A = this chain, B = another copy of it.
């Protein structure tokens, strides 16, 4: 037998060498790990060390026959590979030499090369004792890390949801569906969850971040519930809280929080989807009656797609406020829609929007106003009021600034939309992963047990980077909500820019993820009972509502530019450009051929590299964008047209900036994780996110010369490899999302 050729010292290394040389990915840094270990291994004599070192030469690799010998040696030994050993390869190796102790040096290789049983179990011709999931990590701990400060509130909320009223059910008829969702919203309101973000005096706890955390959980129950909840408490109630004054709070806020008063948020118009400033509805102050007349001037100027429109008694209506013949800009006015018998009031027309791709539990409608009179006091007048003498007054003199201050109060809603989309993707990922861990795929070889779908490289690549994304965006949104709610005087405009970008990339991420999950579950994913189909239909519109993503990304990009936009036409602009250029040059100084082709694992896995790459991209895009706009403007092209010409460039900048922001927040958060074992796991997850992002924009990096071909390929391989390395922990990672058992009802997860 061939095996007798090897000494015990050599033999224990054979499984490692076999894996190393059969595998595709072995960089210089990894070879040096093994070299070092061999040098330190006291169980080897000098000749053995020389022999083993000779097998580590990349320029002169072991012969194929040698590798076949290794394979044969392992196969004929009849040792088992037990996947849930703590060090499976080392254990196999020690069984091979009939030793009871584990060689510390081999353990070192196993850990530092990050090789996992699912990497190599197919390579051995031995019996494999499979395991679906490693027990190295506990999902409960991950869940605690994700819940953070809201642990108590969230746990209580999960228990609250465990009742028949919140059980998922297919309801195809929209009236039935809407009634069910309405009842759920009422239950939540009565239990105090709706008012959570309001001040204590109005039944709340003033805790917006906790509100966001429970909001995300509603997605696990039903997308329609999350949206209707958001409309009632966030948009309608929130508009009273943020745009109204004490008299409004006293009269309406407690009632809204308890769902005793149902209301809607009437901003968008058919003709003016993304242009709030251009809405046509008018609110004209009539001094003689001391009232405001709400009117829809044209056929397409109706309020459109208004959630809760069919159930509401009252609406917050956005309209051009005209006082003494002067248009003071867009303001919000409370307008009653229906009486106690739920009949629409005079001058009000409401029309059902009908069936939609998803969210059919939400009653969306169109609203027209025909000279509807409301008392002057109904103006939500925190930022602009009509005084007793019938004159208009605002402490914010600049109408532009006033408008954006009002809209700025809605940023919390955008964070919640992103949070909801994130919840949808977590749910879909949990279902798809559990399905992939239950289902075996055929293979042609009868000798081998059928594989779990989750063990396919393509399947790992499909789901694992998305799981990493979900973790990164979770911490990102937690942090953004904290910043938004912590300090009402903080740099709101900056947060607004950031949220605009994040809402876009996260809702797109959610849609792509849910689609991948649908396809990953094949035909089973298409059945409503398995929930992914509904998530797909529901989350789809998240890319459009509360600001169309394409428009928001341009807003974000313009925000990034705005620091020097004022100088576009001035002499100062060239000095700004010079500054930008210097900064990029600094960055570029690092981009020598050595750097752009550096492919060792330490470098590629180092957050410094990721941050550098993201930073470089944002700066470079900003600079080239500014240059292009400047060149247009220098030729006399008006700035509106110049911006039109660089539209795709704006989108790229908006995305790049948002990814960089998310990664920075995530990395900062990782440092706060006390348990080092879990911190390391999260760092690996973050690394996968970052490399996956760079990988998906590799074309741009190649164009810039920031990375070379070799590095580009290495990054792609590392994404695949990290996805495989996380395979043993994938169930723990989705369980860490903490979706309650009673929400995870899809039959395919069982």
Contacts and interface: CB of A to CB of B under 8 A. Distances in A.
Contacts of A703: 698, 702, 709, 712-713
Contacts of A635: 21-22, 64, 67-68, 71
Nearest to A512: B515
Contacts of A297: none
Given A456-B644, A709-B704, A526 B634 contact: no
A509 interface: no
B458 A651 contact: yes
A642 B645 CA distance: 49
A156 interface: no
Contact of A274 (B22, B442, B461, B628): B442
B527 A540 contact: no
Interface in A231-268: 268
Interface in A623-658: 628, 632, 634-638, 640-641, 644-645, 647-648, 651
A102 interface: no
Interface in A685-706: 698-699, 702-705
Nearest to A635: B67
Nearest to A634: B64
A377 interface: no
A19 B686 CA distance: 47
B537 A522 contact: no
Interface string A170-193: 101110000000000000000000
Interface in A436-464: 441-445, 448, 456-458, 461
A523 B548 CA distance: 9
A318 to B, nearest CB: 15
A442 B275 CA distance: 7
A648 B702 CA distance: 21
A122 interface: yes
A357 B541 contact: no
A647 B448 contact: no
Interface stretch (A384-392, A410-418, A528-536): A528-536
B533 A519 contact: no
Nearest to A518: B540
B640 A444 contact: yes
A698 B700 CA distance: 9
Contact of A644 (B122, B304, B636, B647): B122
Contact of A527 (B355, B457, B537, B720): B355
A645 B357 contact: no
30 contacts: A21-B635, A67-B636, A68-B635, A72-B636, A122-B641, A123-B637, A170-B354, A172-B172, A172-B174, A268-B523, A272-B442, A273-B522, A305-B523, A354-B529, A355-B529, A357-B526, A357-B534, A357-B537, A445-B640, A448-B640, A457-B648, A458-B648, A461-B648, A523-B541, A648-B720, A702-B703, A702-B709, A703-B709, A703-B713, A704-B709
A702 to B, nearest CB: 4
Contacts of A123: 637, 641
A216 to B, nearest CB: 22
A445 B357 contact: no
Q: How many subunits of this chain does the assembly comprise?
A: 2
Contacts of A72: 636
A526 B72 CA distance: 60
A371 interface: no
Nearest to A533: B357
A35 interface: no
A103 interface: no
A71 B275 CA distance: 30
A714 B355 CA distance: 44
A638 B24 CA distance: 16
Nearest to A696: B699
Q: How large is the interface on A (under 10, 10 to 19, 20 to 34, 35 or more residues)?
A: 35 or more
Contact of A528 (B304, B357, B536, B632): B357
A545 interface: yes
A327 to B, nearest CB: 13
B709 A705 contact: yes
A84 interface: no
A278 interface: yes
A149 B712 CA distance: 48
A353 interface: yes
Contacts of A704: 709
Given A170-B355, A357-B518, A357-B527, 11 more contacts: A71-B636, A72-B636, A122-B644, A268-B523, A274-B442, A357-B536, A445-B640, A448-B640, A457-B648, A526-B541, A536-B540
A533 B537 CA distance: 9
A217 B431 CA distance: 36
A575 to B, nearest CB: 18
Contact of A24 (B304, B537, B548, B645): B645
A550 interface: yes
A543 interface: yes
A644 B457 contact: yes
A544 interface: yes
Contacts of A549: 519
A356 interface: yes
Contacts of A541: 523, 526
Given A635-B21, A636-B67, A699-B699, A354 B709 contact: no
